[in-house]
């Protein structure tokens, strides 16, 4: 689709929408708003793609605290902290960087509608907080905070953070026009940005997005979009991010090396990157220095030798590749074989590209740690600069990906993205319109064959229906609870934990002290078997991830199936009633939808929050893994040493297997406790839904029949309006076929 075709389809869509707006029909306004939102997103994404056909738009995406700002600062600002680092999901704004002849930045604020949503969510947070404090009057703050987290969502907690941090000066900016200012240099830009989007900035809580335009030839032909973390709690900003992603041609996906390719990253890859038609993905294991520090600290704690930095780096890179291969089947097949994998450490580039006198406290701390863990590579200032430059990998990323992948294939990437965008979006829009069209056709058919007498009769029967079915409904809800409990037991029996049964080993040659041939002691290099700690840690990590992922998959499948079974039984009871009264006015689909909407809150319990459990048990497992340290050899002859060491390594490995089994049992208990909490919360929601279920059905059913009776009083007029609506929507549908 070219620009002229896009303009034509949008103009025709707007004409059809105007025709719909001219029809005075109750409930139509909400459906028009749905269509407006769909067309707006399509228009903005399409226009952004086509208006800058020679501009390659690259998204920087990933979890909050994945190092996106540090990466961008390295890529375009020589490691200077120009873009402030976000400390929470709320302070992670959307930033757009592009070329212009003048250096300017522009700030967009939240509008009144956005803010009222935050205020309402903050009130919900305070109610939850009051409940928790009332039930736990003498508990410490850390306990109170954890209890509040259990009963509130990310959105509610983030809104509380935002509203609480909003100063009176910031509040005055809400709903204001964008502020735009020029800046002379990066120092001036940095100072201003700290005020608007820094973690402690005065206006951070009210900034929705930021646009930076710079006279920098490296940006010529590029547009960089630094997005908030995945699952942005600010809905309006999330919508803006989605629009930007629709027009992105490729992305750098940053995944923290210490938790590489977690479930949130995979979900984002499939739903947001693949779903936006983006086919070029560079996956970066970010904050690479952090995982190297963790390994170094682990060796020091276990009193092991300092590892070689190059060997450690290569081992970790193999681990990242292995992780990507293992998850391949869960990744969108369009992306699966097109992901480029590499590593980066944004803060490392900052350290390498400025004198030690300008390092901040965090950078100084990181340098000290790396000196301690890898002294051979960080002994002098030149060594420090060279090593951190290598870990940051920024020059290679610029050369291999920004220039080699993106800019080199710019024309083909842009053409592919445009084709994919319009094909997919036209299909999605067509599907949405057709669904809406069918709903109006069904209603028209029902209205056409219904009489006022039938509606009045059903009004009397409906209340009686729900009263008669109350015991049936109660039985179904109780059955849900029992079924969940039973299925959890079944799942627990069917998901085995893959205990370590054999410790992986490797042959090494070590200097061993033993009795001399004639007198005293001597040292000889003796080949011995040693624990392969790297391979063992990989196995422990894989076993934990596999067990937890199996639980996640089985829980979601079981919960969704049981919830559907409950909904089916409720709908079956309604359908039996329909057969009994044999009324043409009875809309079976309406009641099915009503039941689905009523049970909608249950869908939030089909996911287990097990990330903390994974991290805890991984760390506990890693702490148990130790190399075998030879001892008791000084009083043995040389030919006795090897059999002695073989015996001792077997004993050591036997104890290690027992210790890791204990860790596996601990993991299973932790998962069991989390499931118990989730079951309790789900059952509370079930009970709350059950107690109000009948009254809600009565209320909604009465409203529906009252509206139907009202329409029947002017049946011919309403039918004509319905026919006009169906005609307009049919014409809309044709545009997107």
Tokens 């005020």 belong to residue: 195
Nearest 5°: the CA angle 534, 537, 540 is: 155
Check: CB of residue 350 under 8 Å from CB of residue 70: yes
Give burial (CB, 10 Å; 0-12/13-18/19+) of 2: exposed
* Pairing label, strands 280-286, 339-343: parallel
What pLDDT does 90 receive? Answer: 47
Spatial distance between the Cα atoms of 27 and 115, rounded to a whole number of angstroms:
26
Distances (CA, A) of 24 to 18, 21, 29, 434, 718: 12, 7, 9, 21, 10
What pLDDT does 584 receive? Answer: 54
Closest CA to 248 of 268, 267, 272: 272
What pLDDT does 345 receive? Answer: 92
What pLDDT does 589 receive? Answer: 67
DSSP state of 305: P
3-state class (DSSP) for residue 546: helix
Distances (CA, A) of 4 to 11, 425, 429: 11, 17, 19
* Pairing label, strands 505-515, 521-531: antiparallel
Check: CB of residue 648 under 8 Å from CB of residue 450: no
Return the structure tokens found at 275: 């779903």
pLDDT, tens only, 613-657:
887 888 888 888 877 878 888 888 888 888 898 899 999 999 999
Check: CB of residue 548 under 8 Å from CB of residue 615: no
Nearest 5°: the CA angle 324, 328, 330 is: 120
Backbone phi, psi, residue 606, to 5° = -90, 5
Tokens 């669904």 belong to residue: 435
Spatial distance between the Cα atoms of 158 and 164, rounded to a whole number of angstroms:
10
What pLDDT does 393 receive? Answer: 93
Paired with 509 in beta bridges are 527
3-state class (DSSP) for residue 280: strand
* Pairing label, strands 521-531, 179-182: unpaired
pLDDT, tens only, 404-414:
888 888 888 88
**Low-confidence residues of the chain, pLDDT below 70?**
52-53, 84-93, 228-240, 243, 458, 460-461, 468, 577-578, 580-590, 601, 604
């Amino acid at each position: 689709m070219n620009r002229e075709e896009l303009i034509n389809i949008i103009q025709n869509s707007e004409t059809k929408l105007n025709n719909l707006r001219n029809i005075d029909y109750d409930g139509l306004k909400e459906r028009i708003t749905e269509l407006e939102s769909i067309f707006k997103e399509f228009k903005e994404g399409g226009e952004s793609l086509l208006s800058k056909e020679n501009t390659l738009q690259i998204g920087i995406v990933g979890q909050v605290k994945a190092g996106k700002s540090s990466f961008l600062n390295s890529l375009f600002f020589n490691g200077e902290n120009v873009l402030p680092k976000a400390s929470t999901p709320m302070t992670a704004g959307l930033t757009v960087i592009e070329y212009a002849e003048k250096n300017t930045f522009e700030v967009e604020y939240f509008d009144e509608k956005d803010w009222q949503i935050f205020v309402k969510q903050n009130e919900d947070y305070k109610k939850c907080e009051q409940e928790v404090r009332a039930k736990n009057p003498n508990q410490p703050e850390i306990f109170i905070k954890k209890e509040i987290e259990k009963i509130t969502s990310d959105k509610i907690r983030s809104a509380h953070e935002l509203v609480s941090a909003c100063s009176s000066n910031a509040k005055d900016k809400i709903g204001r026009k964008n502020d735009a200012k020029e800046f002379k240099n990066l120092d001036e830009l940095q100072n201003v940005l700290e005020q608007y989007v820094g973690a402690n900035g005065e206006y951070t809580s009210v900034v929705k997005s930021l646009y930076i335009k710079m006279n920098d030839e490296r940006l010529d032909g590029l547009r960089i979009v630094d997005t908030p973390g995945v699952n942005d709690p600010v809905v309006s900003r999330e919508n803006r991010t989605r629009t930007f992603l629709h027009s992105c041609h490729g992305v750098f996906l940053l995944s923290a090396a210490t938790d590489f390719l977690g479930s949130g990253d995979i979900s984002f890859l499939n739903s947001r990157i693949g779903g936006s038609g983006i086919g070029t993905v560079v996956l970066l294991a970010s904050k690479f220095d952090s995982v190297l520090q963790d390994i170094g600290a682990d060796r020091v704690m276990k009193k092991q030798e300092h590892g070689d930095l190059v060997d450690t780096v290569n081992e970790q890179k193999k681990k990242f590749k292995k992780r990507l291969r293992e998850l391949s089947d869960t990744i969108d097949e369009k992306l699966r074989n097109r992901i480029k994998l590499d590593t980066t450490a944004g803060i490392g580039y900052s350290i390498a590209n400025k004198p030690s006198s300008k390092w901040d406290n965090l950078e100084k701390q990181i340098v000290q740690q790396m000196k301690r863990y890898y002294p051979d590579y960080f002994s002098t200032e030149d060594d420090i600069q060279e090593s951190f430059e290598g870990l940051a990998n920024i020059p290679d990323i610029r050369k291999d990906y920004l220039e080699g992948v993106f800019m080199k294939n710019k024309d083909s990437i842009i053409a592919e993205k445009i084709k994919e965008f319009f094909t997919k979006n036209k299909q999605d829009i067509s599907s949405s319109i057709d669904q809406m069209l069918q709903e109006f056709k069904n209603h028209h058919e029902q209205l056409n064959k219904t009489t006022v007498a039938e509606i009045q009769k059903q009004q009397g029967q409906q209340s009686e229906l729900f009263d008669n079915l109350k015991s049936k409904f109660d039985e179904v809800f109780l059955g849900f609870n029992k079924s969940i409990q039973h299925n959890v037991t079944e799942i627990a029996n069917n998901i085995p934990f893959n205990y370590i049964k054999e410790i992986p080993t490797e042959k090494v040659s070590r200097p061993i002290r033993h009795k001399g041939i004639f007198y005293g002691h001597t040292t000889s290099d003796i080949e011995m078997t040693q624990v392969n700690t790297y391979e063992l840690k990989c196995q422990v990590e894989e076993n934990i991830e596999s067990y937890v992922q199996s639980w996640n998959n089985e829980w979601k499948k079981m919960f969704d199936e049981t919830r559907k079974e409950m909904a089916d039984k409720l709908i079956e009871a309604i359908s039996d009633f329909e057969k009994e009264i044999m009324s043409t006015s009875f809309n079976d689909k309406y009641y099915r939808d009503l039941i689905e909407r009523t049970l909608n809150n249950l869908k939030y319990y089909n996911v287990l929050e097990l990330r903390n459990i994974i991290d805890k048990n991984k760390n506990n497992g890693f702490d148990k893994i130790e190399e075998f340290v030879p001892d008791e050899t000084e009083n043995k002859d040389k030919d006795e040493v090897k059999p002695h060491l073989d015996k001792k390594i077997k004993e050591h490995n036997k104890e290690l297997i027992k210790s890791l089994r204990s860790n596996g049992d601990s993991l299973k208990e932790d998962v069991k406790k989390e499931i118990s909490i989730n079951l309790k919360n789900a059952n509370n929601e079930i009970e709350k839904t059950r107690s109000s279920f009948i009254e809600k059905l009565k209320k909604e059913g009465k409203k529906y029949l009252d509206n139907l009776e009202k329409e029947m009083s002017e049946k011919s007029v309403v039918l004509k309006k319905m026919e006009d609506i169906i005609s307009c929507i049919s014409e809309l549908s044709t545009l997107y076929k």
